[in-house]
Amino acid sequence: MIDSRRLPSAMVGLLVLLFACSPSTSSPAQMSPGVPKTTQPTPTAASVTPSPSAASSTARRSPVPLRTVRPSDLVVRIDMLGELCCPSPAVVATVDGRLVTKTGDGTLVERRLAVAGVQRLREELLGTGLFDGDRVIGLDPAPGATPAPHGISARTFRVWTGTRTVIVTSMVLAPSDEAFYTPSPVRKQLDALAARLTAPESWLPASDWAVMAPRPYVADGFRVVTSTEPVGGSQPDVDAVPWPFNPAIPDFGEPLAASSGVFVPIGPGIRPLRCATLNASDARAARDVFERGGATVGDFPDGAFATGLTWRTAGTGIVLFFQALMPDQSSCADAY
């Protein structure tokens, strides 16, 4: 479930608008915002087929493919998994020097490392001895302690070691919870390492930087995840939007398996989620089409955006979520 306190108010309003009629169940790849379900007839397969229109005959083209990213392009990635939902990137560094970090207000900024900076960062990681193999650093209750039941956040490191990506996950405790659990030196090391990587300017020398001043992160591409489901409000009709790409919106992308690690804050839908990628220019073109058609488009702090379209005659619609890709991602097949 999405914790609405962590979303900007405009985005909360959009989610309520889009999902006022959404089913309440979800699969691992589909995170429902938890809005109460209303009584709606279940559309049949035939009812979600668009009717011919002027928009559907608009000349379309294939999207521009994204540059392929290899596992070895990654230096390190840190994702935070909140108490309620969804992994969110906190640090991403790649071999070409790109370094993306999350600020205190949830936005992402990018800087550039020099070759020496990339090497120093890699040596810092591998020199800890923490990434010899995959593992999960769990929590052991302290003797006689009874922790209050509540969700606990987690942090996942992905580090390229020269032969493969090693994944290490550790729980993240609030200071008030520390007394309930046995101290873990490894967890403390990972906490300290995450703090250093989030503020690299505090320890990397000036000679390790190509561009030290942070600027807002601008994604090179987006995952476009679509869900066929009821859409509320006065969003425009699917058939009235001159979608510029092949195939049409209902068939855009490939089905996303329920076991996929791609998490998106949209409902479970009537059909399986579909996922495709667009480069930044094509994503802007899609957004322009929605906004010119009168659709409400809401933004996330990390550069993602979402909207919904209706099929008025069918009583359903399509929700589209554009997830900003990090420099280590280039497809819907990435494991996160």
On the question of pLDDT at 22 being above 90, the answer is no
Q: Which of 30, 73, 42 shows the shortest CA–CA distance to 262?
A: 30
What pLDDT band is residue 12 in, cutting at 50, 70 and 90?
very low
Query: Considering the domain boundaries, does residue 336 fall inside one?
Result: no
Query: Considering the domain boundaries, does residue 333 fall inside one?
Result: no
At which of 185, 216, 247 does a domain end? 216
pLDDT of res. 75: 98
Q: Which of 288, 285, 271, 286 shows the shortest CA–CA distance to 321?
A: 286
At which of 200, 216, 232 does a domain end? 216
pLDDT of res. 64: 95
- Segment among 52-61, 201-210, 325-334 with least mean pLDDT: 52-61
pLDDT > 90 in the chain, percent: 58
Query: Considering the domain boundaries, does residue 330 fall inside one?
Result: no
pLDDT of res. 267: 66
Q: Of the segments 76-80, 102-106, 175-179, 272-276, which one has the largest average pLDDT value?
A: 76-80
pLDDT of res. 105: 87
Residues 212 and 79 in one domain: yes
Q: Which domain holds residue 20?
A: 4-65+220-324
Q: Which of 255, 250, 257 shows the shortest CA–CA distance to 229?
A: 250
Q: Of the segments 5-19, 145-159, 278-292, which one has the largest average pLDDT value?
A: 278-292
Residues 200 and 230 in one domain: no
Residues 76 and 203 in one domain: yes
Average pLDDT, the chain: 82
On the question of pLDDT at 9 being above 50, the answer is no
Higher pLDDT, 50 or 131: 131
pLDDT of res. 37: 32
Residues 45 and 173 in one domain: no
pLDDT of res. 161: 96
Residues 313 and 193 in one domain: no
Q: In this structure, what DSSP letter does residue 108 have?
A: E
Query: Considering the domain boundaries, does residue 156 fall inside one?
Result: yes
The predicted-structure confidence for 190-249, as pLDDT tens digits, reads as follows: 999 999 999 999 999 999 999 999 999 999 999 999 998 888 778 999 989 999 999 999
Q: Which residues contact 302 (CB under 8 A, 6 or more apart)?
A: 88, 89, 102, 106, 107, 108, 217, 324
At which of 216, 235, 257 does a domain end? 216
The predicted-structure confidence for 70-122, as pLDDT tens digits, reads as follows: 999 999 999 998 766 678 899 999 999 999 999 988 899 999 999 999 999 99
- Strand order across the 135-137 sheet: 135-137, 165-172, 153-160, 74-81, 87-94, 98-102, 108-113, 209-216
Residues 122 and 239 in one domain: no
Residues 112 and 198 in one domain: yes
Q: Which of 155, 236, 142 shows the shortest CA–CA distance to 192?
A: 155
Query: Considering the domain boundaries, does residue 134 fall inside one?
Result: yes
- Please count the structural domains in the chain: 2
What pLDDT band is residue 35 in, cutting at 50, 70 and 90?
very low
